Amino acid sequence: MQPSALIKFREIIEEKLVEFLPAKTLVPKSIHEAMHYSVCGGGKRIRGSLCLLACRTVGGVWEKAITAACALEMIHSYSLIHDDLPCMDDDDLRRGKPTNHRVFGEAIALLAGDALLTQAFKIMCKHHPPGMADRYYKAAGELASAIDTTGMIGGQVLDLEGEGRSLTIDELQEIHKRKTGALIQAALRIGAIIGGASAEAIGALSEYGAGIGLAFQIIDDLLDLQADPVVLGKNVGSDVKKEKATYATIFGPQEAYGLAEEEIKKAKEALRSFGEDASDLLQLADFLLEREY
Amino acid sequence: MQPSALIKFREIIEEKLVEFLPAKTLVPKSIHEAMHYSVCGGGKRIRGSLCLLACRTVGGVWEKAITAACALEMIHSYSLIHDDLPCMDDDDLRRGKPTNHRVFGEAIALLAGDALLTQAFKIMCKHHPPGMADRYYKAAGELASAIDTTGMIGGQVLDLEGEGRSLTIDELQEIHKRKTGALIQAALRIGAIIGGASAEAIGALSEYGAGIGLAFQIIDDLLDLQADPVVLGKNVGSDVKKEKATYATIFGPQEAYGLAEEEIKKAKEALRSFGEDASDLLQLADFLLEREY
């Protein structure tokens, strides 16, 4: 079952995202409609929620991290739009709807992705809560580092270049660490920074992020192999079609699930020092293992 | 003739850009090679130089604006890579060389553009000179605002949507203001902010930026109509081919040039209050009018 904190935070993030985007009616309308279409198209808001939870876990005021949570979700959304483009994964379906370029055309989809990446940094720089400039500036740097070629974009490239050939476990882990893990870890680090955490607390949350990030990706691979496409909201079997090496195809579903369990266990252990304060993050870790979409 | 300040600053920016990019040898190599290919592929470095000149004009230490100058050039480079993609302008030639996607493929070109946009914000957030955090944070916000859907990206969209139909002068001016003008103005504002300028000084430099920005675009249109493609380094006649309304096609070459002259005159007048300190910017304005590439 979804942790109640996740449901609550998801609703708040949904609401604030609309505020932080340029209005749909603003000229030129096409791009603003395309941005809203993808950003407001549902999703679990895992990254935004992790940011808010991390802030609260370290004793911070989670409301002060909402701008950052929205920036993280904009970044995630930009990466999905660009990923789905014909020159990349060429996907038609995302979150149960046609992908952005299938609705708005490739040019607008490309620019909508660019615009969301830009908007994320814009709100980090210009819409932080009063008195939080220093922390938000530091957080913006964390965000950029997580999604550059040493992080998310680098993972994309490695992923593209790995298609159609067999990968070692180390290679696969490196792809996941960058492609999915870096932004998830950044979400936690950013929440912690905004919450005024110590270096030790940030380190512990990073370790938790590494574990859930990898587990998240393994489960993603398993869902691509086994899930109901209606529940999942995107086409399944695409990894097999592209001869993409994944945890599920290398280890087989059962052993892959075991590895995910192990990562979740390690992730939870990393939070020991927070005691009771970490209960939401512990619950979230379990949820990620059980999710069906 | 090129102002000597422009030549000097261009060399410094070239050198620093390489330092601020991830090394070409870093894994995954393809994307880093693609980034270097476009960023280090020549260019006049107008935006970066405007930033350094603005900083010096307001009495600031121009060396402290180098990081921002490099960020501006990365942004310009990202916009060119994405602009040239098949789903956008589908251009084969840029700065005398094959465009990024013609060399590295569409997927890597797309991601190289994303990576440069990201890297620009990364260096603004993490590589500012000591003691300049506050000014750089403010400058990063200016940068984001200049290139969002109210600025550069919005101009791209209006430009795309205007192809093949006749535009009013107001529409054309709006496209240019956003597509080229916003980043040029931001370069000046950012340099001024880093130089510690007053609101009045920033305002005067913005006005200068508006004038040279529009003149710059008019000259671009004229060059597309009349220039030697070898000197220009890109294909000419593309506006006519795409039935794109430009100043040159609406007013005819001579009247269009007259309008550019007028804008340069207004731009120079906006700098009156700086007296002698503005001599480089005045010279640069004249150069922009005379340029052949």
- Write the DSSP string, B226-240: HS-HHHHSS-SSHHH
Contact across the interface for B110 and A133, Cβ inside 8 Å: no
Mean pLDDT on A80-87:
97
What is the model's pTM? Answer: 0.96
In three-state secondary structure terms, A86 is coil
Mean confidence (pLDDT) of chain B: 93
Instruction: Kindly state whether residue A270 falls inside one of the protein's structural domains.
Output: yes
Per-residue CA distances from A168 to A76, A174, A275 (Å):
27, 10, 37
Q: Which domain holds residue A264?
A: 4-125+136-284
Residue A93 DSSP symbol = E
Residues 152-191 of A with CB under 8 A from B: 153-154, 156-158, 160-161
Can you list the pairs that B256-261 forms with residues at least 24 positions away whose Cβ atoms lie under 8 Å? B256/B218, B256/B221, B256/B222, B257/B218, B257/B222, B259/B218, B260/B214, B260/B215, B260/B218, B260/B219, B260/B222, B260/B289, B261/B215, B261/B289
Tens digits of residue pLDDT in A206-216:
999 999 999 99
| Residue A27: predicted pLDDT | 95
Tell whether the model's pLDDT for residue A182 goes beyond 70.
Answer: yes
- CA–chain centroid gap for A69, Å, is 11
Best of A149, A177, A190 to disrupt the B interface (most B CBs within 10 Å) is A149
Distance, CA of B276 to CA of B282 (rounded, Å): 10
Residue of B nearest to A123 (CA): B141
| Residue A232: predicted pLDDT | 63
Note whether A255 and A190 are within 8 A (CB).
no
For a pLDDT cut of 70, what percent of chain A falls above it? 95
CB contact, 8 Å: B32 with chain A? Answer: yes
For a pLDDT cut of 70, what percent of chain B falls above it? 95
Mean confidence (pLDDT) of chain A: 93
Q: What is the largest CA-CA distance in chain A?
A: 52
pLDDT category of residue B275 using cuts at 50, 70 and 90: very high
Distance, CA of B202 to CA of B57 (rounded, Å): 11
Q: Which two tokens stand for residue B22?
A: 């991830």
pLDDT category of residue A43 using cuts at 50, 70 and 90: confident
For chain B, the C-alpha Rg in angstroms (whole number) is 18
Strands, DSSP E only, in B35-149? 93-94, 97-98
Mean pLDDT on B224-250:
73
Q: What is the CATH number of the domain that holds A245?
A: 1.10.600.10
Tell whether the model's pLDDT for residue B293 goes beyond 80.
Answer: no
| Residue B240: predicted pLDDT | 67
Note whether B244 and B172 are within 8 A (CB).
no
Length of chain A: 293
Instruction: Kindly state whether residue A70 falls inside one of the protein's structural domains.
Output: yes
Contact across the interface for B118 and A153, Cβ inside 8 Å: yes
Tell whether the model's pLDDT for residue B224 goes beyond 90.
Answer: no
Note whether B145 and B154 are within 8 A (CB).
no
A81 Cβ contact partners less than 8 Å away, ≥ 6 residues apart: A38, A99, A100, A101, A109, A112, A113, A116
Tell whether the model's pLDDT for residue A231 goes beyond 90.
Answer: no
Distance, CA of B11 to CA of A152 (rounded, Å): 32
Note whether A133 and B137 are within 8 A (CB).
yes
A131 Cβ contact partners less than 8 Å away, ≥ 6 residues apart: none
| Residue A263: predicted pLDDT | 96
Contact across the interface for B88 and A110, Cβ inside 8 Å: yes
- CA–chain centroid gap for B83, Å, is 13
Question: Which residues does residue B263 pair with via DSSP β-bridges, in sequence order?
Answer: none
Q: Tell me which residue of A140, A147, A108 sits closest to A124, measured CA to CA.
A: A140
| Residue B225: predicted pLDDT | 82
Contact across the interface for A117 and B118, Cβ inside 8 Å: yes
Which residues from B are below 8 Å from A28, CB to CB?
Answer: 149, 154, 157-158, 161
| Residue A1: predicted pLDDT | 61
Tell whether the model's pLDDT for residue A293 goes beyond 70.
Answer: no
Instruction: Kindly state whether residue A80 falls inside one of the protein's structural domains.
Output: yes
Tens digits of residue pLDDT in B127-167:
999 999 999 999 999 999 999 999 999 999 999 999 888 88
Per-residue CA distances from A111 to A78, A117, A212, B153, B197 (Å):
10, 10, 31, 7, 33
Tell whether the model's pLDDT for residue A192 goes beyond 70.
Answer: yes
Note whether A143 and A71 are within 8 A (CB).
yes
Mean pLDDT on A50-64:
98
Mean pLDDT on B267-273:
98
| Residue A20: predicted pLDDT | 98
Query: What one-letter code names the amino acid at A195?
Result: G
pLDDT category of residue A89 using cuts at 50, 70 and 90: very high
Span of A105-109, A123-127, B76-80, B221-225 with lowest mean pLDDT: B221-225
Tell whether the model's pLDDT for residue A194 goes beyond 90.
Answer: yes
Instruction: Kindly state whether residue A151 falls inside one of the protein's structural domains.
Output: yes
Query: What one-letter code names the amino acid at A240?
Result: V
Q: Helices B152-162 and B182-194 meet at what angle, rounded to 10?
A: 170
B131 Cβ contact partners less than 8 Å away, ≥ 6 residues apart: none
Which residues from A are below 8 Å from B23, CB to CB?
Answer: none
A175 Cβ contact partners less than 8 Å away, ≥ 6 residues apart: A155, A158, A159, A162, A167
- Alpha carbon of B286: minimum distance to chain A alpha carbons (Å): 33
Per-residue CA distances from A205 to A57, A60, A189, A190 (Å):
9, 14, 7, 10
Q: Give the number of other CB atoms < 10 A from CB of residue B274.
A: 18
CB contact, 8 Å: A135 with chain B? Answer: no
Instruction: Kindly state whether residue A23 falls inside one of the protein's structural domains.
Output: yes
Which residues from A are below 8 Å from B157, CB to CB?
Answer: 28, 30-31, 108, 111
Contact across the interface for A149 and B106, Cβ inside 8 Å: no
Instruction: Give the residue with greater pLDDT, A96 vs B75.
Output: B75
Mean pLDDT on B247-260:
91
Which residues from A are below 8 Å from B125, CB to CB?
Answer: 137-138, 140-141, 144
Q: Helices A29-39 and A106-126 meet at what angle, rounded to 10?
A: 80
Instruction: Kindly state whether residue A292 falls inside one of the protein's structural domains.
Output: no
Residue B77 DSSP symbol = H
Number of domains forming the structure of chain B = 1
Burial class (CB in 10 A: 0-12, 13-18, 19+), A53: buried
Tens digits of residue pLDDT in B31-85:
999 999 999 978 899 999 999 999 999 999 999 999 999 999 999 999 999 999 9
Mean pLDDT on A71-87:
98
Tens digits of residue pLDDT in A251-265:
989 999 999 999 999
Angle at A158 between CA A154 and CA A160, to 5 degrees: 115
Contact across the interface for A148 and B107, Cβ inside 8 Å: no
Per DSSP, helices labelled H in A127-276 are 133-146, 152-162, 169-176, 182-194, 199-226, 229-232, 238-241, 247-251, 253-269
For chain A, the C-alpha Rg in angstroms (whole number) is 18
| Residue B232: predicted pLDDT | 63
Best of B111, B136, B160, B179 to disrupt the A interface (most A CBs within 10 Å) is B111
